[in-house]
Amino acid sequence: MMWDRLWLNVNLATMEPGGVAYGAIEDGAIAALDGRIAWVGPRAALPAPPARLADAVVDCAGGWLTPGLVDCHTHLVFAGHRARDFEMRLNGARREDILAAGGGIPYTVRATRAASEESLFAAALKRLDVLRAQGVTTIEIKSGYGLDRETELRQLRVARALGQARPVRVTPTYLGAHGVSPEYKGRAAEYVEFMIREMLPLVVREKLADAVDAGLERIVYSPELIEKLFQAARAHGLPVKAHTDQYSDAGGGGIVGRNRGLSADHLEYTSDASIAAMAAGGTVATLLPGATFTLRETRMPPVQKFRDAGVPMALATNCNPGSSPTTSILMMLNMGCTMFALTPEEALAGVTREGARAVGLANEIGTLSVGKAADFALWEIDVPAELSYWIGWNPLKAVVVAGKPVPLPGA
Ligand code: NIG
């Protein structure tokens, strides 16, 4: 036999760019060998009758197959929740009031520091399974709720362990610069030195992260400090990314672009100069509608400018207890369209091809292309736009990771 498995009676949204919408192949066929895609095309072009080609032939009942979804920005590992902040905000409190009352990111930092590795793992596993039940096969998971040595390392270890406990690709990101550690209050420069001197070498030695992220807003760090952190990360061979330009133009998109960063995320206020730098640096704009929605922000990211400049756009849940308490990637597809005016094709590309680029895995996953990992999601839908059209309906039928069908959570 040429292949391990062959999927038939299926429409393929290959998400290969440059051709027909969604890179669609109706009445297609796709085959896997040794965990990789070995053949993709119209069923009529198969080189022999299916039973002579593969050990197993799978009938997909006329559904649509997409690349496995990529959630390229999450803070999945945290303790507790922040429903009190949510309630305070809706009773009129401002960000300063919430912080003064003991809420905000510092609340989650305290809760996460106090939590054991086991309890962090158990809580994150539940969230991971909800995402997997919506077709997610690759997920980025950030640290950033420790801001000290032990807790940051614990979060990253939990992220790696999640990828061993479930058939899912996990890419952990070190986000020590999510805020300034309470122990370094008023001494941001010293905290950056601590990250450069102590944390990065540890993270690299233990292979705990695939990238380095930073909160690059005017109120937290100066651009010079983040630039220093980025240069140190790059010297260790770690690509960079940033949460930036969410509340004002901090020039963050430009800093990430000039550092040839993987992605700049949020970007509601990013400038034309930053967009140009992102285009030149091959940096993805990762859009996070869950935060815009939860914080009831009215400023939207400049989607048309990203299109015009050729900046790829990814979409992600930003799952976190403060600004985006969601575990629904399908909801993000809908919000990406209804709030940010992405087309359904751009939204799907945002959680496949461009999400893959945002985690540095564009050559490995994100499109149904020969040679890439055979990670798929099979959907019971008539047209791909249904994936962003439904609100709260999950049409997922099956998931394949590295060529093998995996049980769906809860099934
Ligand atoms: O991406 N700097 C922002 N980080 C998160 C919010 C995290 C939190 O509020 O706990 C964001 O929106």
Query: What is the CATH architecture of 3-67+367-406?
Result: Roll (2.30)
Domain ranges of the chain: 3-67+367-406, 69-358
For ligand 1, the distance from its centroid to the CA atom of residue 162, given in whole angstroms, is 21
Tens of pLDDT along 109-125?
Answer: 999 999 999 999 999 99
For ligand 1, the distance from its centroid to the CA atom of residue 112, given in whole angstroms, is 14
Residues whose beta carbon lies within 6 Å of some atom of ligand 1: 75, 105, 108, 178, 215, 243, 291, 318, 320-324
| Cα 329 to Cα 313: distance, rounded to the nearest angstrom | 15
User: Of residues 379 and 219, which shows the higher confidence score?
Assistant: 379
Question: Ligand 1 pocket check: which of 73, 74, 75 to mutate, most ligand atoms within 8 Å of Cβ?
Answer: 75
Tens of pLDDT along 43-68?
Answer: 999 999 999 999 999 999 999 999 99
| Structure-token pair, residue 291 | 């935060």
Q: What is the DSSP string of 19-57?
A: SSGGGEEEEEEEEEETTEEEEEEEGGG-SS-GGGTEEEE
Contact 6, 57 (CB under 8 A): yes
For ligand 1, the distance from its centroid to the CA atom of residue 319, given in whole angstroms, is 9
Tell me the fold of 69-358. TIM Barrel (3.20.20)
The helix or strand, by DSSP H or E, that contains position 400, with its residue range, turns out to be: strand 396-401
Question: Ligand 1 pocket check: which of 323, 324, 326 to mutate, most ligand atoms within 8 Å of Cβ?
Answer: 323
Phi, psi of 207, deg, nearest 5 = 50, 45
Read off the pLDDT of each residue in 377-394 and give the average, rounded to a whole number. Answer: 98
Predicted confidence band at 186 (pLDDT cuts at 50, 70, 90)?
A: very high
| Cα 263 to Cα 362: distance, rounded to the nearest angstrom | 13
Read off the pLDDT of each residue in 125-132 and give the average, rounded to a whole number. Answer: 98
Read off the pLDDT of each residue in 209-215 and give the average, rounded to a whole number. Answer: 97
| pLDDT given for residue 410 in this prediction | 79
Residue nearest to atom 10 of ligand 1 (CA): 322
Task: Give the ligand 1 atom nearest the CA of 145.
Answer: 10
| Cα 190 to Cα 209: distance, rounded to the nearest angstrom | 22
| Cα 173 to Cα 91: distance, rounded to the nearest angstrom | 34
| pLDDT given for residue 217 in this prediction | 86
3-class secondary structure, 254: helix
Predicted confidence band at 219 (pLDDT cuts at 50, 70, 90)?
A: confident
Alpha carbons within 13 A on the beta-carbon side of 389: 8
| Cα 2 to Cα 32: distance, rounded to the nearest angstrom | 9
Kindly tell me the burial class for residue 126, based on how many C-beta atoms sit within 10 Å of its own C-beta (0-12, 13-18, 19 or more). exposed
Across the chain, mean pLDDT equals 97
- Straight-line distance from the first to the last Cα atom of the chain, in angstroms, rounded to the nearest whole number: 31
For ligand 1, the distance from its centroid to the CA atom of residue 321, given in whole angstroms, is 8
Tens of pLDDT along 240-279?
Answer: 999 999 999 999 999 999 999 999 999 999 999 999 999 9
Q: What is the DSSP string of 284-319?
A: EEEE-HHHHHHTT--PPP-HHHHHHHT--EEE----
Contact 197, 232 (CB under 8 A): no
For ligand 1, the distance from its centroid to the CA atom of residue 41, given in whole angstroms, is 42
| pLDDT given for residue 55 in this prediction | 96
For ligand 1, the distance from its centroid to the CA atom of residue 182, given in whole angstroms, is 17
Question: Ligand 1 pocket check: which of 86, 88, 105, 219 to mutate, most ligand atoms within 8 Å of Cβ?
Answer: 105
| Structure-token pair, residue 14 | 């290959």
Alpha carbons within 13 A on the beta-carbon side of 327: 14
Task: Give the ligand 1 atom nearest the CA of 217.
Answer: 2
Nearest partner of 140 among 169, 118, 165, judged by Cα: 169
Predicted confidence band at 411 (pLDDT cuts at 50, 70, 90)?
A: low
Tens of pLDDT along 318-365?
Answer: 999 999 999 999 999 999 999 999 999 999 999 999 999 999 999 999
| pLDDT given for residue 218 in this prediction | 80
Cβ density class 308-333: b for 16+ within 10 Å, e for less = ebebbbbbbbbbbbbbbbbbbbbbbb
| pLDDT given for residue 45 in this prediction | 98
| pTM of the predicted structure, to 2 decimals | 0.98
Question: Positive or negative, the Cα torsion across 378, 381, 384, 385?
Answer: negative
- Please report, rounded to a whole number, the percentage of residues in the chain having pLDDT higher than 70: 100
DSSP state at residue 382: S
Please give the distance of CA 82 from its chain centroid, rounded to a whole number. Answer: 22
Residue 223: which residues within 8 A CB-CB, separation 6 or more?
216, 250, 251, 252, 255
| pLDDT given for residue 250 in this prediction | 94
| pLDDT given for residue 109 in this prediction | 98
Residue nearest to atom 7 of ligand 1 (CA): 322
| Cα 190 to Cα 204: distance, rounded to the nearest angstrom | 20
Read off the pLDDT of each residue in 122-145 and give the average, rounded to a whole number. Answer: 98
- Residue 388, pLDDT > 90, answer yes
Task: Give the ligand 1 atom nearest the CA of 318.
Answer: 1
